């Protein structure tokens, strides 16, 4: 039976890693003349675009408003009153193995070697027990049957035409149909209609919140797309990789060194406040460029477009579209340096069923070299508490800190007597919204304006990529438009299968 299912899945989906674009091997790889590109935004999308364009012979200037690269996967220094200095980040990030385009970027800059696997995909709950997905099957359909053994659902819970019809939609991803049918439906409404059993509903709620949205807000179409991308279109399973040190050491130093080798310029602490057009050039901070890639987040893009008169004057429909892009709920990250360690058998990343705000716990000293060295010297442990979607009305930093610690201690009572030596709290509001009814208006990489392109995890893509993979993939789509304009060979774009098994 297992063999027949595997054969059926492979026949329906085709290769799990698919080349999406036609790459003409007869076209030249590199420029013979000189072309200048301004990349605005030094996050993952901007860096990905910079890496490819630099190695293709373009003169690249990368502008970043912060004093560090990375955006939402940046790493920067904090210093405490007693002289302790270290790096902190926006939060834990998982590098899934179907992040085909991102991994190629990591390979180019020699950062792929810094990835290590997580031991288990684990969810802790107060009401339904704990779930481990370490040993589940990795083949689509078999994995759905396998998670039943982890206690996620019982077969009798799935009996009934309505439930079966609803669950089949997860296996029928098709971009046009799925978004037309489900983009106006929240996961909460979908789950209520399907009468999902509590434990299965919990799994999807955890999944929903990982995309920075509570169940009453997230588009069911986006959730179907993400479930297809992460679980039903590849045979990698739920075990993923992480970087083995803080992002500055493991990712951004390699990126900086790679770009430096091509003579690219990285302008830190250099915000771009306005764009101008002069003849066939874009004027960025007083310099002329043949092309510009906006790789900023939604708030940054909106501010730049709003303050650049060229858009409201000459491209009002584009300016209006950008103004309607949405950010998600606030999220929060609390990093703790403590005098207590947790049991050694725990994986270094754990999902938690949020009692109010706590979605995950990362045990940093089990994962990150710099943190391990601190614990080796000082004892104790370093932890990150993350809320992906703060409930409406939870704004006060003292309240957020209190709720984090309260829920951490609920899941791990031994932390009640722990002494906190250092802490760092971030409350941010800059992530892409995957809420209902946003897909139709989502901006694409092509702006319709000569020489100007968009990149970022918020950009609408023809392929079902998400999060960091979406950022890297959008950058390649924009880069390919520039390569095409110069008659150069396109960069290959890879994807999981574009449609679900039963689409």
- Which CATH number characterizes residue 480's domain? 3.50.50.60
Does residue 315 share a domain with residue 453?
yes
Does residue 227 share a domain with residue 251?
no
**Within a domain: 112:** no
| Cβ atoms of residues 264 and 258 within 8 Å | no
pTM as predicted: 0.96
Does residue 443 share a domain with residue 297?
yes
Q: The sheet that has 131-132: what strands, in order across it?
A: 131-132, 122-124, 349-352, 360-363, 381-387, 331-338, 420-428
**What residue numbers bound the domain in which 457 lies?**
15-72+247-326+439-495
**Within a domain: 363:** no
| Cβ atoms of residues 140 and 173 within 8 Å | no
**Within a domain: 60:** yes
Does residue 308 share a domain with residue 448?
yes
| Cβ atoms of residues 168 and 190 within 8 Å | no
What are the pLDDT tens digits along the chain (503 aa)?
888 999 999 999 999 999 999 999 999 999 999 999 999 999 999 999 999 999 999 999 999 999 999 999 999 999 999 999 999 998 999 999 999 999 999 999 999 999 999 988 889 999 888 888 888 889 998 888 888 777 776 666 666 555 667 778 889 999 999 999 999 999 999 998 888 888 888 888 888 888 999 999 999 999 999 999 999 999 998 889 999 999 999 999 999 999 999 999 999 999 999 999 999 999 999 999 999 999 999 999 999 999 999 999 999 999 999 999 999 999 999 999 999 999 999 999 999 999 999 999 999 999 999 999 999 999 999 999 999 999 999 999 999 999 999 999 999 999 998 999 999 999 999 999 999 999 999 999 999 999 999 999 999 999 999 999 999 999 999 999 999 999 999 999 999 999 999 98
Does residue 307 share a domain with residue 158?
no
Does residue 126 share a domain with residue 57?
no
Does residue 190 share a domain with residue 132?
yes
Does residue 308 share a domain with residue 445?
yes
Cα-to-chain-centroid distance, residue 229: 12
**Within a domain: 290:** yes
Does residue 258 share a domain with residue 199?
no
**Within a domain: 108:** no
Query: Last residue of a domain, which of 197, 231, 265?
Result: 231
Nearest CA among 77, 93, 75 for reference residue 85: 77
């Amino acid at each position: 039976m297992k063999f027949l299912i595997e054969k059926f899945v492979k026949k329906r989906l085709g290769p799990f890693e698919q080349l999406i674009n036609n790459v003409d091997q007869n076209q030249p790889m590199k420029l013979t003349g000189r072309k200048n590109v301004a990349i605005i935004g030094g996050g993952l999308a901007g860096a990905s675009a910079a890496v490819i364009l630099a190695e293709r012979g373009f003169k690249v200037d990368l502008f970043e408003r912060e004093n560090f690269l990375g955006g939402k996967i940046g790493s920067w220094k904090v210093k405490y009153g007693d002289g302790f200095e270290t790096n902190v980040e926006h939060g834990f990030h998982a590098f899934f193995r179907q992040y085909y385009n991102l991994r190629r970027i990591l390979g180019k800059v020699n950062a792929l070697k810094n990835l290590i696997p997580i031991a288990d995909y684990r969810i802790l709950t107060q009401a339904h027990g704990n779930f481990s997905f370490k040993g589940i099957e990795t083949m689509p359909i078999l994995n759905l049957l396998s998670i039943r053994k982890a206690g996620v659902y019982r077969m009798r819970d799935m009996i009934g035409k309505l439930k079966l019809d609803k669950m089949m939609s997860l296996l029928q991803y098709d971009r046009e149909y799925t978004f037309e049918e489900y983009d106006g439906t929240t996961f909460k409404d979908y789950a209520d209609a399907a009468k999902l059993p509590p434990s299965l509903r919990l799994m999807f709620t955890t999944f929903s919140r990982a995309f920075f949205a509570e169940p009453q807000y997230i588009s069911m179409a986006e959730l179907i797309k993400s479930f297809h991308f992460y679980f039903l279109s590849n045979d990698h399973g739920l075990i993923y990789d992480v970087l083995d040190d803080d992002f500055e050491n493991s990712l951004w130093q390699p990126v900086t060194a790679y770009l430096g080798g091509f003579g690219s310029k990285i302008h830190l602490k250099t915000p771009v406040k306005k764009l101008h057009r002069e003849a066939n050039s874009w004027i960025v901070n007083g310099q002329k460029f043949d092309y510009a890639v906006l790789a900023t987040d939604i708030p940054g893009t909106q501010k730049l477009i709003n303050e650049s008169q060229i858009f409201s004057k000459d491209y009002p429909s584009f300016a209006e579209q950008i103004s309607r892009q949405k950010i998600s709920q606030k999220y929060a990250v609390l990093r703790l340096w403590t005098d207590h360690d947790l049991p050694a058998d725990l994986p270094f990343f754990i999902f938690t069923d949020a009692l109010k705000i706590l979605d995950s716990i990362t045990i940093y000293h089990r994962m990150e070299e710099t943190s391990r060295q601190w614990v080796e010297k000082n004892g104790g442990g370093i932890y990150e508490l993350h809320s992906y979607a703060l409930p409406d009305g939870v704004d006060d930093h003292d309240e957020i800190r209190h709720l984090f610690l309260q829920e951490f201690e609920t899941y791990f009572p031994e932390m009640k007597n722990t002494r906190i030596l250092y802490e760092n709290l971030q409350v941010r509001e800059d992530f892409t919204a995957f809420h209902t009814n946003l897909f139709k208006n989502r901006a694409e990489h092509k702006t319709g304006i000569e020489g100007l392109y968009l990149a970022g995890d918020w950009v609408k893509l023809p392929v079902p990529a998400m999060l960091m993979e979406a950022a890297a993939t959008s950058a390649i789509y924009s880069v390919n438009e520039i390569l095409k304009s110069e008659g150069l060979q396109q960069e290959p774009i890879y994807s999981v299968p574009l449609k679900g098994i039963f689409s």
